[in-house]
A and B are shown apart, each in its own frame.
Chain A
């Protein structure tokens, strides 16, 4: 249902991405909740190492699109390929393989409250990648150091600030060595003074060449970090371009109206 007619044979083992081929290819993707169509035909290619910001009003479908990429939302038509792997909803094994390559960071952090910070980071590599204990722990400490939380390894999540929890969530996603990172309004639940510390971590990820797709309301951050900005409107990619084009020279009245509504 989700595979394109010209789909390569599945189960081909290793991803067969050619050099320069998009790491993410979304083709004619449509999704509806009952009679209400939320995504009405999305086509999007994202190159390896690209940083794409998705903006738009609430209800425009931007979070839904992001959640389709790792199968948290099921779409009815179109195809989606990540790193050479077709997204196949009804094949749990294929879904898990695809998800190993797609990290996700959520608005509400979603740390596991019963596990220490270190165990939050180590859980999936232990269960999914069978990474041996000492290596797993060393890797977790290294990632926590990278997000500036080396000393919080044994802390419980509820003892951390929102900004710290979100940085742990980033380390947890990175521990699976994803090829793409999805960021779903990751600073929207944070107090204003904590936004900066999270965005700085995301910025270093971008600088290090991580492919990033982020749904965001932080326009100045999108302008600064993104290679491309997508403006979504009523379930469609309404306008797409460089930050300079999107923010400096919006072509459609809908985008102009959206941008001016942010000024108020």
Chain B
């Protein structure tokens, strides 16, 4: 039987798709902000903090980087309530994404921080800057500049990975796509539309971050 393509029955559901896409972008935006802050703190601790803290951060990074995201997400959403911590699907999703991005971004940032020539740090120290000023004004901006492409890729990976957050009924893009498919049973066309939507979002986010980073974070 020849394949009869019918996209109209999916596209009429555009409000649902749009809402899903908005959720995906929103979750990613919040997780990016929190995850980046977490990563900056961890990268600092790992490059110059007390030994115990370095070890702790190292353990966190290895734990997260060597376990699947969906297991981390399920632990936060299904596991933590056992310990009395009950989170909404959206909160659990953001938390899991933040922790996940934070671990990868820590490693990415660390590479950038370690690439900062020792001499620049010494120059800043000889100018009587405090340790915190040396880190935030001299070490971090060029480090961000060096690793920005890798960091942007990781953020996109986390956004695409957020598709599994639909599994805990967060109403993001994959959840919306599954919902539409369950209504019209047109899996082929529905998942083509879903796939293209993710592709579009990824290009959008990557372009936006590549544009914004040099302007606002490590500007010239």
Q: Which residues of A contact B (CB under 8 A)?
A: 70-72, 92, 96-97, 99-100, 102-104, 106, 108, 110-114, 123-124, 127-128, 156, 169, 172-173, 176
Contact = CB atoms under 8 A, between A and B. Distances in A.
Interface of B: 117, 119-120, 122-131, 133, 137-138, 141-142, 145, 218-220
Shortest 7 CB-CB contacts between residues of A and residues of B: A124-B127, A110-B123, A99-B128, A110-B119, A104-B126, A96-B128, A100-B128
The main secondary structure of chain B at its interface with chain A is helix
A113 B127 CA distance: 16
B123 A106 contact: yes
A110 B127 contact: no
A110 B125 CA distance: 12
Given A111-B120, A124-B127, A172-B127, 11 more contacts: A72-B122, A96-B130, A99-B126, A100-B128, A103-B126, A104-B123, A106-B119, A112-B138, A124-B128, A127-B133, A173-B126
Contacts of A71: 125
A114 B220 contact: yes
Contacts of B117: 108, 110
A127 B123 contact: no
B123 A99 contact: no
B220 A128 contact: no
A190 to B, nearest CB: 15
A128 B128 contact: yes
A221 B137 CA distance: 36
Contacts of A173: 126-127
A232 B205 CA distance: 59
Given A104-B123, A110-B117, A110-B120, A156 B220 contact: yes
Given A112-B138, A114-B142, A128-B128, A106 B133 contact: no
Nearest to B127: A124
A213 to B, nearest CB: 13
Contact of B142 (A108, A113, A127): A113
A102 B126 contact: yes
Q: Which residue, A97, A104, A127, A176, has most C-beta atoms of chain B within 10 A?
A: A127
Contact of B218 (A70, A100, A114): A114
B137 A72 contact: no
Contacts of A111: 120, 123
Nearest to B136: A127
A222 B220 CA distance: 39
Nearest to B141: A114
B140 to A, nearest CB: 10
A96 B127 CA distance: 8
Contacts of A97: 128
A127 B129 CA distance: 7
Given A114-B141, A114-B220, A70 B126 contact: yes
B123 A128 contact: no
Given A72-B125, A99-B126, A112 B120 contact: yes
Choose among A96, A97, A112 the residue with the greatest number of B CB atoms under 10 Å from its CB: A112
Contact of B127 (A92, A108, A156, A176): A176
A128 to B, nearest CB: 5
A208 to B, nearest CB: 21
A104 B131 CA distance: 18
B127 A123 contact: yes
11 contacts: A72-B122, A96-B128, A100-B128, A104-B122, A110-B119, A110-B120, A110-B123, A114-B141, A124-B128, A128-B127, A176-B128
Contacts of B131: 92
A114 B120 CA distance: 11
A173 B138 CA distance: 16
A220 B49 CA distance: 46
B119 A108 contact: yes
B137 A127 contact: yes
Contacts of B220: 114, 156
B114 to A, nearest CB: 16
Nearest to A108: B119
A106 to B, nearest CB: 6
A112 B126 CA distance: 13
A193 to B, nearest CB: 23
Contact of A124 (B129, B141, B218): B129
Nearest to B119: A110
A143 B148 CA distance: 34
Contact of A106 (B122, B129, B137, B219): B122
Contacts of B138: 112
